[in-house]
Amino acid sequence: MPDHLPHPVTIQGLTIPEDRIGTLVPFEGDRSDSAQLADGLAEDGYLFLRDCLDPALVLAAREEVFRQLAGVGEIADPPAEGVATGKSRRLDPAEDEGLFWQRVSEGPILRRLTHGLEMQSVLDTVLSEPARAFDLIYLRPTPVGRATALHYDYPFFAGSAQPMINAWIPIGDIPVEDGPLAIVEHSNRFSDLIDQFLAVDYTADRSNDVVQAAAYGGASDVNPVQLVVDRDTRFLTANFRSGDLLLVNMFTLHGSLDNVSPRSRVRLSCDVRFQPAAQPADDSRYFGEYPSGSKGGGYADMRGAQPLA
Ligand SMILES: O=C(O)CCC(=O)C(=O)O
């Protein structure tokens, strides 16, 4: 069935012209064929795998996360609906050193989803060698009014291992009105932007300022709608369903659409990075019991750690 997009769709408050937004094309090849998967990822910069993960596990992870947010008054009953109350009793993450957010991000059911056998098997196949997930994940409950600006991932994760893959997992259905991820079609071929961030020596300086400037830099010179118009391209997104998985490479410009849910539904997703297991997993920003994250403050510093109200 074709995926119908609503209109208008906005990004950072700007209406995307109807001819500048389209749907991600689901991968229709053989999911057990590493070469086909790798070719698809290299060609398009993404692989959209519909119905790839166990929806019951996805929904159990959703319940686990939202239950904890309901426990601090942010999500109404029943928690799995993910409706924001507009209130919060959550401590400022700096006050508890990110412990609440780390506990939510490392919940046992969520870990089974992000680091379990299904994900492992998909990523092993895509990389055609054993994959290893980063310990640090980016869990993103995104209420109406919050969004992610367009950026490339490479500067954040440039380190000792390559290639790296970003696995974006919708944790529950995410219709377009709830502000899912959107990629910029063909942005994996914008060599002017890519060359800029490849020219930076991240081993010499991985400070947050350097990384942020490289990741968001070139793409933020114009507003996102102007960017797709100027480059004669489109945003690609989908009405995501529980069980879908979107893999994005490090060279694809992406961000989120606006969450305009009339029910104040919080968009829940997480993004997890994978690399070949045989390569060093020694970047303390992303590995270890208390990963420091790219900003340096660990789970306390993550956007998802911010109270929803
Ligand atoms: O989910 C989002 O809002 C942004 C996700 C993202 O930037 C990523 O997966 O790298």
How, if at all, do strands 21-23 and 14-16 pair?
A: unpaired
Report the distance separating Cα 16 and Cα 7, nearest Å: 9
Distance 280 CA to ligand 1 centre (A): 24
Report pLDDT for 193.
Answer: 95
Cα–Cα distance, 157 to 167 (Å, whole number): 13
Q: What does the pLDDT read at residue 1?
A: 63
Global confidence as pTM: 0.97
> What's the chain's average pLDDT?
96
Please, what are the averages of pLDDT over each run of 10 residues along the chain (309 residues)?
A: 88 97 98 98 98 98 98 98 97 92 98 98 98 98 96 90 96 98 98 94 87 85 94 98 98 98 98 97 95 94 94
Rounded distance from Cα 255 to ligand 1 centre (Å): 6
148 lines ligand 1 (CB under 6 A): yes
Contact status, residue 183 vs residue 257, Cβ threshold 8 Å:
no
The 3-state secondary structure of 173-186, one letter per residue: CECHHHCCEEEECC
Q: What is the Cα–Cα distance from 36 to 32, expressed in whole angstroms?
A: 9
Which residue has the CA at smallest separation from atom 7 of ligand 1? 255
pLDDT value for 203? 84
Q: 22-305, superfamily in CATH? A: q2cbj1_9rhob like domain (2.60.120.620)
The full set of domain ranges for the chain reads 22-305
Which of 142, 157, 166, 211 most suits a substitution to test ligand 1, by most atoms within 8 Å of the C-beta? 166
Give the pLDDT confidence of 110-132 residue by residue, as tens digits: 999 999 999 999 999 999 999 99
CA distances from 69 to 11, 135, 171, 271 (A): 26, 22, 14, 19
Going by DSSP bridges, is the β-strand pair 165-170/245-249 parallel, antiparallel, or unpaired?
antiparallel
Place of tokens 């009405």: 239
Residue 220: per-residue pLDDT: 79
Q: Whose CA is nearest to atom 1 of ligand 1?
A: 181
pLDDT in tens, 16-46: 999 999 999 999 999 999 999 999 999 999 9
Strands (DSSP E) contained in the chain are 9-11, 14-16, 21-23, 46-49, 131-133, 138-142, 165-170, 181-184, 235-237, 245-249, 254-256, 267-276
Is 252 touching ligand 1 by the criterion CB < 6 Å? no
Q: What share of the chain is helix, strand, coil (3-state, %, to 5)?
A: 35, 20, 45
Dihedral over alpha carbons 275, 281, 282, 285 (to 10 degrees): 50
